[in-house]
Amino acid sequence: MGAAAVFYGALVTFIPWPIPEPDLPASVNSVLAEAANAAVAAYRTARRMLTRPELSEEVAMGADGTPTMRVDSLVEDAIAESAQSNQVNLLSEEAGFIDNGSSTTLVIDPLDGSANAASGVPLSCFSGVLTRDSIAVEAMTVWLDTGRVWWAKVGQSTPYRTTGRTTLDGAAVSLLRPKRNNGEAWQRVAARAGRLRILGTTCLETALVAEGSVDAFADPGSDTLRIVDLAAALVLVPAAGGAVIDARGRPLDFDPDLTRRWSGIAAATSALADQLAEAVLG
C-alpha cells in the first residue's frame, strides 16, 4: 500500500500529462514561432519539475496589477529571452513593456488561463501578436495541452470561419465568470443565450469564436480584460468574418499601458457583437 500511496500521491501533486509540440503553420513569422516554442518548452519543463502548489505560488505583482504565479513567470521569462534574441520589443501582462529598440513589438499573453495551467485543467494557451509601429500584422494562439494552433495574417485569407450567427437569443456564448460589479449584466446575457461556458481562458475562447465552435465570447461589463487578452482576437476573429468590440464602445488599441481595461466582446458577426453590447449595457 505504501508504494501505491506514493505513486498516486505523485499523480495528484504533479500534472502527469505530456505537453505536445505545437502544430505551427509553415508560413508563420519566425519571431512568433520562436516565442510560441519557447512558451511550450518552458511550460513543459515547469509541469515536469514543479508540483501544483509550486506552479501556482504567487511570486510577484505583474505590470497589469494582478499577482504573478510562478508558472506565469517561467513561461514569460523564456519568451522574453526569445524576443531579446530576435531584437524585438515585448509587451506582456507580467513584465509590461520591454523596449529592445525595434519598430516591431511582440504583444503576448504568455500563459492565458494561468489558474487552469497550474492546477492541471487542460485549458490554457500562449497567445501572441506581432505589431509594427503599433499596427497588428500577424497573430497566433497555441492551445498548450493539445498543440492546436490558430494563426492569421492581416490581409491574407484564413481557413477559419465563424458560425455567422447574428442573434443573441439561443446563441452559444462563453463568458467571464460573474463579478461583483456586473451581476445584472451577466444575468441579462445568460438569460438570452442558449448555451453558456466559462472556461477561464479568454484567448482560447476567442479562438473558438474564430473557428466557429462557439458563437461569441464576452466580458459582460466587468472591465477586466487587458489588451494582451484581446490582441490575438483582434486579428483572428475579423479574419474569420467576425467582430471584436468593447461593450462600452471604447477603441481597442495596442497601448502599452496595462492598467487600461475593456469589456471585450468577440462575436461571429458585427450584429451579434452589437446585440451582446446592448444586453450588457441594459
Annotated ligand binding at 77? The verdict is: no
Other beta carbons within 10 angstroms of residue 212's beta carbon come to: 17
Annotated ligand binding at 229? The verdict is: yes
How far is Cα 220 from Cα 179, in angstroms, rounded to an integer?
Answer: 9
How far is Cα 158 from Cα 66, in angstroms, rounded to an integer?
Answer: 34
Annotated ligand binding at 93? The verdict is: yes
Annotated ligand binding at 109? The verdict is: yes
Residue pair 55/118 in contact by the 8 Å Cβ criterion: yes
E strands, the chain, where? 58-61, 67-69, 89-92, 96-98, 104-112, 125-132, 135-143, 149-153, 172-175, 195-197, 216-218, 243-246, 264-267
Mutual orientation of helices 183-192 and 270-281 as an angle, nearest 10°?
Answer: 140
Q: Which amino acids are annotated as binding site, given as ranges?
A: 93, 109, 111-112, 229
Please report, in range form, the residues annotated as the binding site for Mg(2+): 93, 109, 111-112, 229
